[in-house]
A and B are shown apart, each in its own frame.
Chain A
Amino acid sequence: MSIPRHWRLQNQRYSMVGEVCNACGAKLFPPRDVCPECSKPAYEPYRFSGNGKVYSYSTVYQAPSGYEAFVPYTVALVKLDEGPLVSAQLTDVDGEEVEIGMPVEMVTRKLREEGEDGLIVYGYKFRRLLREEAA
Protein backbone atom coordinates (compact mmCIF):
# COMPACT_ATOMS: atom_id res chain seq x y z
CA MET A 1 0.00 0.00 0.00
CA SER A 2 1.29 3.44 -0.85
CA ILE A 3 2.43 6.06 1.66
CA PRO A 4 -0.28 8.58 0.60
CA ARG A 5 -3.03 6.00 1.20
CA HIS A 6 -1.73 5.19 4.69
CA TRP A 7 -1.51 8.90 5.41
CA ARG A 8 -5.10 9.55 4.30
CA LEU A 9 -6.36 6.78 6.57
CA GLN A 10 -4.29 7.59 9.65
CA ASN A 11 -6.85 9.76 11.40
CA GLN A 12 -9.47 7.01 11.48
CA ARG A 13 -6.87 4.34 12.17
CA TYR A 14 -4.95 6.03 15.01
CA SER A 15 -7.90 7.14 17.10
CA MET A 16 -11.15 5.89 15.50
CA VAL A 17 -12.31 9.19 14.13
CA GLY A 18 -15.48 8.57 12.12
CA GLU A 19 -18.45 10.79 11.38
CA VAL A 20 -21.81 11.68 12.88
CA CYS A 21 -24.93 12.34 10.82
CA ASN A 22 -26.41 15.69 11.77
CA ALA A 23 -29.77 14.67 10.32
CA CYS A 24 -30.49 11.45 12.26
CA GLY A 25 -27.62 11.27 14.78
CA ALA A 26 -26.18 7.97 13.51
CA LYS A 27 -22.46 7.45 14.16
CA LEU A 28 -20.47 6.26 11.16
CA PHE A 29 -17.31 4.19 11.08
CA PRO A 30 -15.44 4.11 8.83
CA PRO A 31 -16.31 7.64 7.66
CA ARG A 32 -18.22 7.56 4.37
CA ASP A 33 -19.73 11.07 4.10
CA VAL A 34 -23.25 9.73 3.40
CA CYS A 35 -25.35 8.37 6.24
CA PRO A 36 -26.30 4.71 5.62
CA GLU A 37 -29.34 5.15 7.87
CA CYS A 38 -31.02 8.17 6.27
CA SER A 39 -28.93 8.82 3.12
CA LYS A 40 -28.25 12.43 4.14
CA PRO A 41 -24.75 13.96 3.93
CA ALA A 42 -22.64 13.26 7.06
CA TYR A 43 -19.36 15.15 7.26
CA GLU A 44 -19.06 16.02 10.94
CA PRO A 45 -16.03 14.25 12.46
CA TYR A 46 -16.76 12.11 15.52
CA ARG A 47 -14.22 10.47 17.80
CA PHE A 48 -15.47 7.07 18.97
CA SER A 49 -15.03 6.05 22.60
CA GLY A 50 -13.27 2.86 21.49
CA ASN A 51 -15.45 0.72 23.75
CA GLY A 52 -17.44 -2.21 22.42
CA LYS A 53 -18.11 -5.94 22.60
CA VAL A 54 -16.89 -8.91 20.57
CA TYR A 55 -19.66 -9.79 18.09
CA SER A 56 -17.77 -12.69 16.51
CA TYR A 57 -14.17 -13.80 16.10
CA SER A 58 -11.75 -16.18 14.41
CA THR A 59 -8.11 -17.10 14.83
CA VAL A 60 -5.70 -16.62 11.94
CA TYR A 61 -2.85 -19.09 11.48
CA GLN A 62 -2.09 -18.40 7.79
CA ALA A 63 -1.67 -14.65 7.66
CA PRO A 64 -1.79 -12.44 4.59
CA SER A 65 1.46 -10.82 3.51
CA GLY A 66 2.76 -8.30 6.05
CA TYR A 67 1.04 -9.87 9.06
CA GLU A 68 3.14 -13.04 9.43
CA ALA A 69 4.92 -11.69 12.51
CA PHE A 70 1.72 -11.80 14.55
CA VAL A 71 0.40 -15.35 13.89
CA PRO A 72 -1.51 -16.86 15.48
CA TYR A 73 -3.74 -13.85 16.08
CA THR A 74 -7.43 -13.31 16.63
CA VAL A 75 -9.54 -11.08 14.41
CA ALA A 76 -12.94 -9.96 15.61
CA LEU A 77 -16.05 -8.14 14.59
CA VAL A 78 -16.48 -5.59 17.34
CA LYS A 79 -19.84 -3.96 17.98
CA LEU A 80 -18.96 -0.46 19.11
CA ASP A 81 -21.01 1.12 21.90
CA GLU A 82 -22.04 3.84 19.43
CA GLY A 83 -23.45 1.28 16.98
CA PRO A 84 -21.11 0.45 14.09
CA LEU A 85 -19.63 -3.01 13.61
CA VAL A 86 -15.90 -2.94 12.81
CA SER A 87 -13.41 -5.68 12.02
CA ALA A 88 -10.06 -5.52 13.81
CA GLN A 89 -7.31 -7.55 15.35
CA LEU A 90 -7.49 -8.36 19.05
CA THR A 91 -4.25 -7.88 20.95
CA ASP A 92 -2.82 -8.75 24.38
CA VAL A 93 -5.16 -11.71 24.47
CA ASP A 94 -4.73 -15.46 24.24
CA GLY A 95 -7.05 -17.16 21.76
CA GLU A 96 -8.78 -19.29 24.36
CA GLU A 97 -9.74 -16.24 26.44
CA VAL A 98 -11.91 -14.72 23.70
CA GLU A 99 -15.66 -15.12 23.79
CA ILE A 100 -18.65 -13.54 22.10
CA GLY A 101 -19.94 -10.61 24.14
CA MET A 102 -16.54 -9.94 25.77
CA PRO A 103 -16.12 -6.19 26.47
CA VAL A 104 -13.12 -4.71 24.68
CA GLU A 105 -11.41 -1.32 24.38
CA MET A 106 -9.49 0.28 21.54
CA VAL A 107 -5.71 0.64 21.65
CA THR A 108 -3.33 2.02 19.04
CA ARG A 109 -0.73 -0.53 17.98
CA LYS A 110 1.57 -1.43 15.12
CA LEU A 111 -0.56 -2.95 12.35
CA ARG A 112 2.36 -3.93 10.13
CA GLU A 113 5.76 -2.90 8.89
CA GLU A 114 6.52 -2.49 5.21
CA GLY A 115 9.75 -4.46 5.38
CA GLU A 116 12.87 -3.66 7.41
CA ASP A 117 13.32 -0.23 5.81
CA GLY A 118 9.73 0.77 5.07
CA LEU A 119 6.91 2.57 6.78
CA ILE A 120 5.59 1.42 10.17
CA VAL A 121 1.80 1.44 10.01
CA TYR A 122 -0.11 2.09 13.25
CA GLY A 123 -3.81 1.68 13.86
CA TYR A 124 -6.57 0.48 16.14
CA LYS A 125 -6.80 -2.95 17.68
CA PHE A 126 -8.92 -4.08 20.60
CA ARG A 127 -8.02 -5.73 23.89
CA ARG A 128 -9.90 -7.02 26.90
CA LEU A 129 -10.74 -4.23 29.32
CA LEU A 130 -7.53 -3.51 31.18
CA ARG A 131 -9.23 -3.37 34.56
CA GLU A 132 -10.76 -6.82 34.05
CA GLU A 133 -7.52 -8.37 32.87
CA ALA A 134 -5.66 -7.15 35.94
CA ALA A 135 -8.43 -8.25 38.31
Chain B
Amino acid sequence: MLLKPIRDVGIAGYGAYVPRYRLPGSEVDRIWTDGQGGSPIEEKAVAGPDEDTASMSVEAARNALARAGLNPQVLRAVWVGSESHPYAVKPTSTIVAEAIGAVPAVQAADWEFACKAGTEAFQAAMGLVGSGMADYALAIGMDTAQGRPGDALEYTAGAGGAAFIVGPAEDSLAIIEGSFSYVTDTPDFFRRPMQHYPQHGSRFTGDPAYFRHVLASAQQLMDSLGTKPEDYAAAVFHQPNSKFPERAARMLGFRPEQTRTGLLCPMVGNTYAGSSMLGLTAILDEAQPDERVLIVSFGSGAGSDAISIRTTEKIEERRDRAPRTQVYVQRRKEIDYGLYVRYRRKLHMH
Protein backbone atom coordinates (compact mmCIF):
# COMPACT_ATOMS: atom_id res chain seq x y z
CA MET B 1 0.00 0.00 0.00
CA LEU B 2 3.06 2.23 0.23
CA LEU B 3 3.30 4.58 -2.76
CA LYS B 4 6.87 4.35 -3.95
CA PRO B 5 8.09 4.51 -7.55
CA ILE B 6 10.57 2.03 -9.04
CA ARG B 7 13.05 4.82 -9.76
CA ASP B 8 14.12 6.81 -6.69
CA VAL B 9 12.84 10.39 -6.78
CA GLY B 10 13.21 13.49 -4.66
CA ILE B 11 12.68 17.23 -4.40
CA ALA B 12 15.02 19.12 -6.75
CA GLY B 13 13.74 22.55 -5.78
CA TYR B 14 11.02 24.26 -3.77
CA GLY B 15 9.54 27.73 -3.57
CA ALA B 16 7.06 29.53 -1.36
CA TYR B 17 4.70 32.43 -1.81
CA VAL B 18 2.60 34.39 0.70
CA PRO B 19 0.93 37.70 -0.19
CA ARG B 20 1.79 40.88 1.70
CA TYR B 21 -1.51 41.80 3.32
CA ARG B 22 -2.60 40.59 6.78
CA LEU B 23 -6.05 40.68 8.34
CA PRO B 24 -5.82 40.31 12.14
CA GLY B 25 -8.34 37.90 13.64
CA SER B 26 -9.28 40.71 16.01
CA GLU B 27 -10.69 42.66 13.04
CA VAL B 28 -13.09 39.84 12.11
CA ASP B 29 -13.97 39.55 15.78
CA ARG B 30 -14.59 43.32 16.03
CA ILE B 31 -17.06 43.27 13.13
CA TRP B 32 -19.03 40.14 13.98
CA THR B 33 -18.94 39.70 17.77
CA ASP B 34 -18.15 43.21 19.00
CA GLY B 35 -14.73 41.97 20.04
CA GLN B 36 -16.19 39.41 22.45
CA GLY B 37 -15.55 36.16 20.52
CA GLY B 38 -11.77 35.95 20.28
CA SER B 39 -9.90 34.57 17.29
CA PRO B 40 -8.36 31.13 16.64
CA ILE B 41 -5.27 32.71 15.04
CA GLU B 42 -3.31 35.97 15.19
CA GLU B 43 -3.81 36.99 11.57
CA LYS B 44 -4.22 35.64 8.05
CA ALA B 45 -2.56 36.47 4.73
CA VAL B 46 -4.83 38.15 2.19
CA ALA B 47 -4.14 38.31 -1.55
CA GLY B 48 -3.88 41.83 -2.98
CA PRO B 49 -6.35 43.08 -5.60
CA ASP B 50 -4.00 42.08 -8.44
CA GLU B 51 -3.24 38.59 -7.12
CA ASP B 52 -4.85 35.22 -7.67
CA THR B 53 -3.85 31.56 -7.62
CA ALA B 54 -2.20 31.89 -11.05
CA SER B 55 -0.01 34.90 -10.24
CA MET B 56 0.94 33.50 -6.84
CA SER B 57 1.82 30.12 -8.38
CA VAL B 58 4.08 31.85 -10.89
CA GLU B 59 6.20 33.38 -8.14
CA ALA B 60 6.43 30.15 -6.12
CA ALA B 61 7.35 28.25 -9.30
CA ARG B 62 10.09 30.76 -10.17
CA ASN B 63 11.51 30.31 -6.66
CA ALA B 64 11.46 26.52 -7.08
CA LEU B 65 13.23 26.75 -10.44
CA ALA B 66 15.87 29.07 -8.96
CA ARG B 67 16.59 26.60 -6.14
CA ALA B 68 16.73 23.63 -8.50
CA GLY B 69 18.94 25.60 -10.90
CA LEU B 70 16.96 24.20 -13.82
CA ASN B 71 16.04 25.47 -17.26
CA PRO B 72 12.19 25.47 -17.25
CA GLN B 73 12.26 23.65 -20.58
CA VAL B 74 13.22 20.42 -18.76
CA LEU B 75 9.86 20.35 -16.93
CA ARG B 76 7.48 17.77 -18.42
CA ALA B 77 4.54 18.67 -16.16
CA VAL B 78 3.16 21.81 -14.53
CA TRP B 79 0.37 20.85 -12.16
CA VAL B 80 -1.52 23.30 -9.95
CA GLY B 81 -3.66 22.08 -7.05
CA SER B 82 -6.17 24.63 -5.75
CA GLU B 83 -9.79 25.21 -4.88
CA SER B 84 -9.56 28.83 -6.04
CA HIS B 85 -8.57 28.55 -9.70
CA PRO B 86 -9.24 31.93 -11.37
CA TYR B 87 -11.32 30.37 -14.16
CA ALA B 88 -14.02 27.71 -13.85
CA VAL B 89 -12.98 26.54 -17.33
CA LYS B 90 -9.43 27.30 -18.49
CA PRO B 91 -6.38 25.88 -16.78
CA THR B 92 -4.37 27.86 -14.26
CA SER B 93 -1.47 25.58 -15.13
CA THR B 94 -1.13 26.84 -18.73
CA ILE B 95 -0.78 30.42 -17.46
CA VAL B 96 1.89 29.31 -15.00
CA ALA B 97 3.70 27.14 -17.57
CA GLU B 98 3.76 30.00 -20.09
CA ALA B 99 4.95 32.57 -17.54
CA ILE B 100 7.85 30.46 -16.28
CA GLY B 101 8.92 29.47 -19.80
CA ALA B 102 8.01 25.78 -19.62
CA VAL B 103 5.79 25.61 -22.75
CA PRO B 104 5.11 23.93 -25.12
CA ALA B 105 6.52 20.39 -24.57
CA VAL B 106 4.87 20.04 -21.18
CA GLN B 107 1.88 18.43 -19.51
CA ALA B 108 -0.38 20.92 -17.75
CA ALA B 109 -3.40 20.30 -15.56
CA ASP B 110 -5.30 21.69 -12.59
CA TRP B 111 -5.99 19.49 -9.61
CA GLU B 112 -8.87 19.72 -7.18
CA PHE B 113 -9.29 17.93 -3.84
CA ALA B 114 -10.12 20.72 -1.38
CA CYS B 115 -7.01 21.30 0.75
CA LYS B 116 -4.97 18.35 -0.49
CA ALA B 117 -4.95 19.12 -4.22
CA GLY B 118 -1.31 20.16 -3.95
CA THR B 119 0.01 16.95 -2.39
CA GLU B 120 -2.12 15.00 -4.88
CA ALA B 121 -0.22 16.75 -7.69
CA PHE B 122 3.03 16.06 -5.81
CA GLN B 123 2.30 12.32 -5.67
CA ALA B 124 1.44 12.28 -9.37
CA ALA B 125 4.77 14.02 -10.06
CA MET B 126 6.49 11.25 -8.06
CA GLY B 127 4.83 8.73 -10.37
CA LEU B 128 5.67 10.61 -13.57
CA VAL B 129 9.34 10.98 -12.67
CA GLY B 130 9.52 7.62 -10.90
CA SER B 131 8.30 5.76 -13.97
CA GLY B 132 10.94 7.36 -16.14
CA MET B 133 8.37 9.20 -18.27
CA ALA B 134 9.93 12.49 -17.21
CA ASP B 135 12.97 13.77 -15.36
CA TYR B 136 11.30 16.78 -13.76
CA ALA B 137 7.72 17.70 -12.87
CA LEU B 138 6.38 20.76 -11.06
CA ALA B 139 3.62 20.36 -8.46
CA ILE B 140 2.02 23.41 -6.85
CA GLY B 141 -0.46 23.83 -3.99
CA MET B 142 -1.84 27.38 -3.90
CA ASP B 143 -5.03 29.05 -2.75
CA THR B 144 -6.77 32.35 -2.11
CA ALA B 145 -9.30 30.86 0.25
CA GLN B 146 -12.71 32.43 0.81
CA GLY B 147 -14.81 32.27 3.96
CA ARG B 148 -18.37 33.54 4.12
CA PRO B 149 -18.52 36.88 5.97
CA GLY B 150 -19.25 36.16 9.62
CA ASP B 151 -18.55 32.44 9.30
CA ALA B 152 -15.95 30.72 11.51
CA LEU B 153 -13.83 30.17 8.39
CA GLU B 154 -13.45 33.90 7.86
CA TYR B 155 -10.91 34.13 10.67
CA THR B 156 -8.59 31.61 9.07
CA ALA B 157 -9.20 31.33 5.28
CA GLY B 158 -5.87 32.70 4.05
CA ALA B 159 -3.76 32.93 0.91
CA GLY B 160 -0.44 31.39 -0.07
CA GLY B 161 1.21 28.16 -1.06
CA ALA B 162 4.27 26.44 -2.42
CA ALA B 163 5.79 24.83 -5.50
CA PHE B 164 7.92 21.67 -5.63
CA ILE B 165 9.98 20.29 -8.48
CA VAL B 166 10.15 16.52 -8.28
CA GLY B 167 13.22 15.06 -9.96
CA PRO B 168 15.59 12.08 -9.90
CA ALA B 169 16.98 11.24 -6.44
CA GLU B 170 20.56 11.97 -7.50
CA ASP B 171 19.65 15.63 -8.19
CA SER B 172 17.55 16.18 -5.08
CA LEU B 173 17.83 18.25 -1.93
CA ALA B 174 15.55 15.69 -0.28
CA ILE B 175 14.85 12.10 -1.28
CA ILE B 176 11.26 10.89 -1.10
CA GLU B 177 11.13 7.69 0.94
CA GLY B 178 7.49 6.91 0.26
CA SER B 179 3.93 8.12 0.47
CA PHE B 180 0.59 6.86 1.68
CA SER B 181 -2.94 8.06 0.88
CA TYR B 182 -6.04 7.48 2.98
CA VAL B 183 -9.36 8.45 1.40
CA THR B 184 -13.05 7.98 2.19
CA ASP B 185 -16.30 9.71 1.19
CA THR B 186 -16.75 12.10 4.11
CA PRO B 187 -18.72 15.29 3.36
CA ASP B 188 -17.21 17.59 5.99
CA PHE B 189 -16.79 20.61 3.73
CA PHE B 190 -17.93 21.35 0.18
CA ARG B 191 -18.93 24.03 -2.29
CA ARG B 192 -21.53 23.50 -5.00
CA PRO B 193 -21.11 24.92 -8.53
CA MET B 194 -21.77 28.69 -8.89
CA GLN B 195 -21.59 29.15 -5.13
CA HIS B 196 -19.07 31.66 -3.87
CA TYR B 197 -18.63 30.26 -0.36
CA PRO B 198 -18.32 26.71 0.99
CA GLN B 199 -20.49 24.89 3.54
CA HIS B 200 -18.88 22.99 6.36
CA GLY B 201 -19.97 20.55 9.01
CA SER B 202 -18.67 22.55 12.00
CA ARG B 203 -17.53 19.98 14.58
CA PHE B 204 -18.00 17.19 12.05
CA THR B 205 -14.83 18.52 10.37
CA GLY B 206 -12.81 17.27 13.37
CA ASP B 207 -12.94 13.64 14.41
CA PRO B 208 -14.54 11.84 11.44
CA ALA B 209 -12.80 14.04 8.91
CA TYR B 210 -9.46 15.65 9.83
CA PHE B 211 -8.28 13.37 12.63
CA ARG B 212 -9.43 10.07 11.18
CA HIS B 213 -7.69 10.66 7.85
CA VAL B 214 -4.57 12.49 9.06
CA LEU B 215 -3.81 10.00 11.83
CA ALA B 216 -4.41 7.00 9.57
CA SER B 217 -2.24 8.19 6.67
CA ALA B 218 0.63 9.29 8.93
CA GLN B 219 0.58 6.12 11.04
CA GLN B 220 0.26 3.74 8.10
CA LEU B 221 3.07 5.48 6.25
CA MET B 222 5.36 5.21 9.28
CA ASP B 223 4.35 1.55 9.77
CA SER B 224 5.11 0.79 6.11
CA LEU B 225 8.51 2.47 6.28
CA GLY B 226 9.33 1.15 9.74
CA THR B 227 9.85 4.67 11.08
CA LYS B 228 8.77 6.25 14.36
CA PRO B 229 8.05 9.88 15.35
CA GLU B 230 11.48 10.15 16.99
CA ASP B 231 13.12 9.36 13.63
CA TYR B 232 11.85 12.68 12.26
CA ALA B 233 13.61 16.01 12.76
CA ALA B 234 10.37 17.79 11.84
CA ALA B 235 6.79 17.14 10.83
CA VAL B 236 4.10 19.30 9.26
CA PHE B 237 0.37 18.65 9.23
CA HIS B 238 -2.43 20.42 7.37
CA GLN B 239 -3.33 23.54 9.33
CA PRO B 240 -6.99 24.60 9.25
CA ASN B 241 -6.19 26.26 12.60
CA SER B 242 -3.43 25.81 15.17
CA LYS B 243 -5.21 23.31 17.40
CA PHE B 244 -5.88 20.52 14.91
CA PRO B 245 -2.27 19.99 13.76
CA GLU B 246 -0.95 20.33 17.31
CA ARG B 247 -3.40 17.71 18.58
CA ALA B 248 -2.76 15.34 15.66
CA ALA B 249 1.00 15.59 16.23
CA ARG B 250 0.58 14.88 19.93
CA MET B 251 -1.68 11.88 19.30
CA LEU B 252 0.89 10.39 16.91
CA GLY B 253 3.69 10.90 19.44
CA PHE B 254 5.49 13.97 18.03
CA ARG B 255 6.92 16.58 20.38
CA PRO B 256 5.94 20.27 19.97
CA GLU B 257 9.45 21.26 18.85
CA GLN B 258 9.17 18.88 15.88
CA THR B 259 6.16 20.77 14.49
CA ARG B 260 7.05 24.35 15.50
CA THR B 261 8.98 25.40 12.36
CA GLY B 262 6.29 24.29 9.94
CA LEU B 263 3.33 25.65 11.89
CA LEU B 264 2.59 28.87 9.98
CA CYS B 265 -1.19 29.00 10.46
CA PRO B 266 -1.06 31.53 13.33
CA MET B 267 0.69 34.06 11.04
CA VAL B 268 -0.78 33.35 7.59
CA GLY B 269 -3.99 31.43 8.24
CA ASN B 270 -5.17 28.29 6.50
CA THR B 271 -3.75 28.42 3.00
CA TYR B 272 -5.81 25.39 1.97
CA ALA B 273 -4.02 23.44 -0.81
CA GLY B 274 -0.90 25.42 0.10
CA SER B 275 -1.03 24.76 3.84
CA SER B 276 1.09 21.70 4.56
CA MET B 277 3.30 22.34 1.51
CA LEU B 278 4.08 25.89 2.66
CA GLY B 279 4.92 24.55 6.11
CA LEU B 280 7.31 22.07 4.48
CA THR B 281 9.16 24.91 2.72
CA ALA B 282 9.71 26.63 6.07
CA ILE B 283 11.14 23.36 7.45
CA LEU B 284 13.42 22.84 4.44
CA ASP B 285 14.73 26.40 4.90
CA GLU B 286 16.09 25.31 8.28
CA ALA B 287 16.82 21.60 7.81
CA GLN B 288 20.27 20.05 8.00
CA PRO B 289 21.43 17.31 5.58
CA ASP B 290 20.30 13.75 6.31
CA GLU B 291 17.22 14.69 8.32
CA ARG B 292 13.83 13.05 7.99
CA VAL B 293 10.72 15.21 7.54
CA LEU B 294 7.09 14.05 7.55
CA ILE B 295 4.42 15.98 5.65
CA VAL B 296 0.75 15.14 6.09
CA SER B 297 -1.94 16.95 4.12
CA PHE B 298 -5.69 16.83 4.56
CA GLY B 299 -8.41 17.55 2.03
CA SER B 300 -12.07 17.70 2.86
CA GLY B 301 -14.30 15.23 1.14
CA ALA B 302 -12.05 13.59 2.51
CA GLY B 303 -8.50 12.31 2.39
CA SER B 304 -4.95 12.69 3.59
CA ASP B 305 -1.58 12.18 1.90
CA ALA B 306 1.46 11.45 4.06
CA ILE B 307 4.94 11.75 2.57
CA SER B 308 8.27 10.94 4.19
CA ILE B 309 11.41 12.65 2.91
CA ARG B 310 15.07 12.66 3.87
CA THR B 311 17.26 15.69 3.12
CA THR B 312 20.58 15.44 1.29
CA GLU B 313 23.69 17.62 1.46
CA LYS B 314 22.38 19.57 -1.58
CA ILE B 315 19.91 21.39 0.65
CA GLU B 316 22.59 23.70 2.02
CA GLU B 317 23.74 25.12 -1.31
CA ARG B 318 20.24 25.41 -2.80
CA ARG B 319 18.10 26.97 -0.08
CA ASP B 320 19.42 30.52 -0.42
CA ARG B 321 18.98 30.68 -4.18
CA ALA B 322 15.45 32.02 -3.52
CA PRO B 323 13.73 33.95 -0.70
CA ARG B 324 13.12 31.90 2.42
CA THR B 325 9.53 31.33 3.49
CA GLN B 326 9.98 33.45 6.61
CA VAL B 327 10.87 36.42 4.39
CA TYR B 328 7.35 36.20 2.97
CA VAL B 329 5.78 35.54 6.36
CA GLN B 330 7.49 38.52 7.98
CA ARG B 331 6.69 40.87 5.10
CA ARG B 332 3.33 42.22 6.24
CA LYS B 333 0.99 45.12 5.69
CA GLU B 334 -1.91 45.09 8.10
CA ILE B 335 -5.32 45.93 6.67
CA ASP B 336 -8.67 46.50 8.35
CA TYR B 337 -11.92 44.71 7.61
CA GLY B 338 -13.06 47.44 5.21
CA LEU B 339 -10.01 47.12 2.99
CA TYR B 340 -10.30 43.33 3.20
CA VAL B 341 -13.88 43.58 1.94
CA ARG B 342 -12.66 45.68 -0.97
CA TYR B 343 -9.64 43.54 -1.88
CA ARG B 344 -11.58 40.29 -1.73
CA ARG B 345 -14.63 41.77 -3.48
CA LYS B 346 -17.15 40.99 -0.80
CA LEU B 347 -19.16 44.10 -1.59
CA HIS B 348 -21.53 43.77 -4.53
CA MET B 349 -22.26 47.16 -6.05
CA HIS B 350 -25.61 46.63 -7.76
A interface residue numbers (CB < 8 A to B): 10-11, 14-15, 47, 69-70, 89, 91-92, 94, 107-111, 120, 122, 125, 130-131, 133-134
Partner of A15, one of B20, B87, B100: B100
**Contact status B59-A120, CB under 8 Å:** no
A-B contact pairs, 18 of them (CB 8 A): A14-B98, A15-B100, A69-B49, A70-B50, A92-B333, A107-B55, A107-B59, A108-B55, A108-B58, A110-B51, A110-B52, A122-B54, A130-B327, A130-B328, A131-B323, A133-B20, A134-B327, A134-B328
**Most chain B C-beta atoms within 10 Å of own C-beta, residue among A15, A94, A107, A108:** A108
Select from chain A the residue with minimum beta-carbon distance to B72. A15
B interface residue numbers (CB < 8 A to A): 20, 48-52, 54-55, 58-59, 86-87, 95, 98-101, 323, 327-328, 330-331, 333
Chain B nearest CB from A114 CB (Å) reads: 12
Chain B nearest CB from A58 CB (Å) reads: 18
In the assembly, what is the distance between CA of A109 and CA of B95, in Å?
11
In the assembly, what is the distance between CA of A131 and CA of B101, in Å?
24
Chain B nearest CB from A12 CB (Å) reads: 12
Residues of chain B within 8 A (CB-CB) of A69 are 49
Partner of A108, one of B20, B99, B327: B99
Residues of chain A within 8 A (CB-CB) of B87 are 120
Known: A109-B55, A125-B50, A134-B331. A92 touches B20 (CB 8 A): yes
Partner of B98, one of A10, A92, A111, A120: A10
In the assembly, what is the distance between CA of A92 and CA of B327, in Å?
14
Residues of chain A within 8 A (CB-CB) of B331 are 130, 133-134
**Contact status A108-B59, CB under 8 Å:** yes
In the assembly, what is the distance between CA of A108 and CA of B49, in Å?
13
Select from chain A the residue with minimum beta-carbon distance to B52. A110
In the assembly, what is the distance between CA of A92 and CA of B51, in Å?
10
**Most chain B C-beta atoms within 10 Å of own C-beta, residue among A47, A70, A94, A130:** A130
Partner of A122, one of B20, B48, B49, B99: B99
Select from chain B the residue with minimum beta-carbon distance to A133. B331
In the assembly, what is the distance between CA of A132 and CA of B293, in Å?
31
Residues of chain A within 8 A (CB-CB) of B48 are 91-92
**Most chain A C-beta atoms within 10 Å of own C-beta, residue among B54, B99, B330:** B99
In the assembly, what is the distance between CA of A109 and CA of B20, in Å?
13
Residues of chain A within 8 A (CB-CB) of B54 are 120, 122
Residues of chain B within 8 A (CB-CB) of A110 are 49-52, 55
Known contacts A120-B87, A125-B50, A133-B331, then 6 further A-B pairs from the complex at CB < 8 Å, ordered by chain A residue: A92-B333, A94-B333, A108-B99, A109-B55, A111-B50, A131-B323
In the assembly, what is the distance between CA of A131 and CA of B20, in Å?
13
In the assembly, what is the distance between CA of A120 and CA of B99, in Å?
14
Residues of chain B within 8 A (CB-CB) of A47 are 101
Residues of chain A within 8 A (CB-CB) of B99 are 14-15, 108, 122
In the assembly, what is the distance between CA of A47 and CA of B50, in Å?
23
Residues of chain B within 8 A (CB-CB) of A130 are 323, 327-328, 331
**Contact status A120-B323, CB under 8 Å:** no
